[in-house]
Amino acid sequence: MRAATAFVYRNGRVLLLRRSRLMRSMPGLWAAVSGVVEGSEDILERARTEIYEETGMDNVRPLASCAPVAIPHHNILVHPFLFGAHDTAVRLNWENDRYAWIRPTDMVRYRTVPHLGGMLFCLLGGVGALAGQHDIDAGPAAHRAGNIVPRVLAGAGVYAGGLFRVDG
């Protein structure tokens, strides 16, 4: 099975949704907007449709995508996308019961669906407009996100055991 997962970004924050207890798959976990891709359906359009259905937002623009992520124990291939939003008004449907606009590094405080944090940091690392404007404080030295995010994803281990704070 294939799915589209869409992170919505606005003013240095991303939108997380808590999956309703009515959901068959992973109820109660925090996630980005997501939906199953049917047959030969265009994945980017599925992501945009899911954003509208789950949040009521229709004025979003695609910013980045990353390679699909396999989640074998759920038999799903997830295609991650990052969208920019013009406002932060959210109207939830039945699929989710709560939402939060969070700083990307605050994701570690949420009980999320598998691989959500990795997908988000892959997307943020691929967006020059975002990465170039955000500093990551990794302790005594600050680094540009465009430099540090790929190193973190590559497993350099330089920042193991610490939290990253995205300023801006």
- pLDDT value for 90: 95
DSSP type of residue 158: T
The type of residue at 22 is: L
pLDDT tens-place string over residues 72-81 = 888 889 999 9
pLDDT tens-place string over residues 90-126 = 999 998 999 999 998 898 899 998 889 989 988 887 6
Q: Which two tokens stand for residue 139?
A: 């302790």
Rounded CA-CA distance 92/98 in Å is: 8
- pLDDT value for 94: 92
The model's pTM: 0.74
Rounded CA-CA distance 47/61 in Å is: 11
pLDDT tens-place string over residues 14-39 = 999 999 998 887 889 999 999 999 99
Domains of the chain, first to last: 2-167 (3.90.79.10)
